[in-house]
Structure 1
Amino acid sequence: MRRVPVLLSAAVLLALAGAAKAGPSAPSAPIRAPLADHHQYIYSPAAAAFLSSNAQLEPVSAHDLIAQLDAAGIERAAVLSVAWIYGRPAQLPGEEYARVRAENDWAARQASDYPGRLVALCSVDPLKDYALAELARCAASPEFGRAIKLHPGSVSRLDEADQIERVQRVFRAANARGLAIVLQLRGTSAAGARVLIDRLLPFAPDVPVQVAYAEMFPGGAAQAEAATPLAALSVLAEAAVRQDPRMRQVWLDAASFTRPGLSRADALRLVRRLRQVGLERVLYGSETAVGTEVPPSDAWAAFRSLPLTDAEAARVANNVMPYLR
């Protein structure tokens, strides 16, 4: 049987402790598996070939993903298109946007084979000139869920005024169309988290924002709280504690928390911040790095190894974003 890889980056997000609770009340005992996986990917043959310049990557279909979800006992999943990968600089001049559209449409067709279980989310690099056009196209199509995955290019850290303005326009457009935002940033520091709070969230005040951070513990070794991007999570958690109104619709995507091998000290720091955010606003996701071959069942086991109470872990397992209900 062919082994199925899962995805290429790692993600993490957040929310607000003082807001009204979203979803069912916290149960008193854990459940066997999360109700939904908020961070999964599939790859078309074209995308797999495009990503195979450094390491061979096999296509991943909806059928492959369903088998993994079944093994983990997970009923539903958000399928995040990887169309944003074609926005990498100087790779596809002249045909970039056509490939972005094709990959998004492929993900939608795959998800349509499993109605009630998979919801396809269109993706785009918000720094691209075609980002607004693709957002509008996807928002008008019933084949996509009511959310969009925004993934700025891997070289970007949103530290330039022009980049920030571009993402602001996309946030505003998503808000106007009632699309939830799944935002993934790489290498985000405390300063990057402040950019998110101060300069992006005000442009999408009416829709949920699911924030994902890549490389929670980049080196795999124990790190101080000042390290990137635990420092970013700290900024977001502290904003939640002081009930910053801009955090009202922010959710934390826990995909990067599923990595095995965290030191006890790192795990305790992480759990402290999750509690500040509020477990009612933490979402389960099991996306893992290409080549690690960690299936959703093992990813959930890794998340459960965090020093959370059973009730806290069950609360995360029961949280489901509106676009997946």
Structure 2
Amino acid sequence: MHAIRAAVAAVLLAGVAHAQTVPAGDFHQHVFSAADIALLGPSSGLVTLDADQLVALLDAAGIRKAVLLSVAYMIGSPARTVDDEYLQVRLENDWTAAQAARHPGRLIAFCSFNPLKDYALAELERCANKPGLGHGIKLHIGNSDVQLDDPAHVARLRQVFAAANAHGMAIVVHLRANIGKRRPYGAAQARIFLDQVMPAAPDVPVQVAHFAGSGPGYDDPAAQAAMGVLAAAVENHDPHAYNLWFDVASIVDRDIAPDTAALLVKYIRQVGVGRVLYGTDSAQGANLRPREAWAAFRKLPLSPAEFAHIAANVPPYFPDP
């Protein structure tokens, strides 16, 4: 009888701990300036979102830290033409850094740009030497229309990765290729990224956003195939996967299908809970806000210990308090 009571008590305590667990940080977030909203236009449905508003959302979720990933890459999208493009990219990166500086110790900023632009390396160099922007870079393969089947694009990515590595800057990469243009994406492109791009940055964390997808949701067979390659590489101790981290931003929604949830759990366990970072993504539009997003994530069939480990993870690029 004593053994039964002890077992029941352990289960109850685990359930309480699970319910109380909150992430140490939100390692995939965005803020939006008035210039961003003007660039995107009224059809986007987005509104300005500054650091103070975001911190209020983080507080509501009990989350202390966050990484603000600059959206300057949008300015260099080949889908639009912007006057004084590089100036606007610099201004956006600087605005994001200034937002993070409003909450020192809680927020840091990552610099961003289209890696194919002729100013890409210059902007990386500038960010590396500017206070508040030297932590890392955010690259958006889809928005920048980088194609991993194009050797010239791969060579350019290698240059950018190598430059980030030389400056000790972490890399967050939205690996999912452009969906609107139906660019090839899946296992083959993940293998190119792993074998040809990753070796250029052997010394810094490389965070694959959205588990190689895009979100919201993870009903994307191409992304699942790409993530399958990366997860297997980590599981098999591929040296090119040594510095890979993965964030779960916006890929788990309230209505995730059981088979998709099971696949995500499989990938999480393949890469190991120690490499999985919590993230929400933009607290705009259809995306869940931090508190609701964490509640949705907790519905995955993971153990309380696994949730607690993921919640406690802090990437090496985030400075100690």
Q: 1:112 corresponds to which residue?
A: 101
TM-aligned CA distance change 1:274 to 1:168, over 3 Å: same
Q: Which has the higher contact order (CA 8 A, sep 6+)?
A: 1
Larger radius of gyration between Structure 1 and Structure 2: 2
Q: 1:264 corresponds to which residue?
A: 258
Aligned 1:101-140 pairs, distance under 5 A = 101-140=90-129
Distance in 2, matches of 1:37 and 1:218, equals 16
Aligned 1:1-325 pairs, distance under 5 A = 29-30=17-18, 31-52=20-41, 54-89=43-78, 91-154=80-143, 155-187=145-177, 188-213=185-210, 216=213, 227-288=221-282, 290-325=284-319
Query: Given the two structures, how large is their TM-score scaled by the length of structure 2?
Result: 0.86
Distance in 2, matches of 1:42 and 1:133, equals 23
Residues 158-192 of structure 1 show CA distances to partners (whole Å, capped at 9, x for unaligned) of 22111111111000000111111111122441112
Deviates more, 1:206-215 or 1:182-191: 206-215
Distance in 2, matches of 1:221 and 1:197, equals 21
More helix by share: 2
Deviation of 1:204 after TM superposition, in Å, equals 0.3
> What secondary structure is seen at the aligned counterpart in 1 of 2:251?
helix
Distance in 1, matches of 2:219 and 2:318, equals 35
What is the identity, as a one-letter code, of the residue corresponding to 1:112? A
TM-aligned CA distance change 1:219 to 1:281, over 3 Å: closer
Distance in 2, matches of 1:240 and 1:322, equals 18
Deviation of 1:280 after TM superposition, in Å, equals 0.5
Distance in 2, matches of 1:186 and 1:222, equals 13
Distance in 2, matches of 1:83 and 1:221, equals 25
- CA RMSD for the aligned pairs? 2.2
Residues 235-291 of structure 1 show CA distances to partners (whole Å, capped at 9, x for unaligned) of 111111211011111101111433221111111111011101101000000115842
Contact kept? 1:29, 1:311, Cα under 8 Å: no
Contact kept? 1:212, 1:254, Cα under 8 Å: yes
Q: 1:3 corresponds to which residue?
A: none
TM-aligned CA distance change 1:209 to 1:216, over 3 Å: closer
> What secondary structure is seen at the aligned counterpart in 1 of 2:209?
strand
What is the identity, as a one-letter code, of the residue corresponding to 1:176? A
Distance in 2, matches of 1:156 and 1:71, equals 37
Query: Given the two structures, how large is their TM-score scaled by the length of structure 1?
Result: 0.85
Distance in 2, matches of 1:95 and 1:53, equals 22
Deviation of 1:54 after TM superposition, in Å, equals 2.6
TM-aligned CA distance change 1:216 to 1:98, over 3 Å: same
Work out the percentage of aligned pairs sharing the same amino acid.
Answer: 47
Deviation of 1:151 after TM superposition, in Å, equals 1.7
> What secondary structure is seen at the aligned counterpart in 2 of 1:107?
helix
Distance in 2, matches of 1:170 and 1:182, equals 12
TM-aligned CA distance change 1:221 to 1:122, over 3 Å: closer
Deviation of 1:152 after TM superposition, in Å, equals 3.0
Distance in 2, matches of 1:251 and 1:177, equals 19
Deviation of 1:217 after TM superposition, in Å, equals 8.1
Distance in 1, matches of 2:28 and 2:40, equals 19
**Long gaps (5+) in structure 1:** 1-27
TM-aligned CA distance change 1:140 to 1:219, over 3 Å: closer
Residues 24-69 of structure 1 show CA distances to partners (whole Å, capped at 9, x for unaligned) of xxxx954531001100000110011111253232111001101100
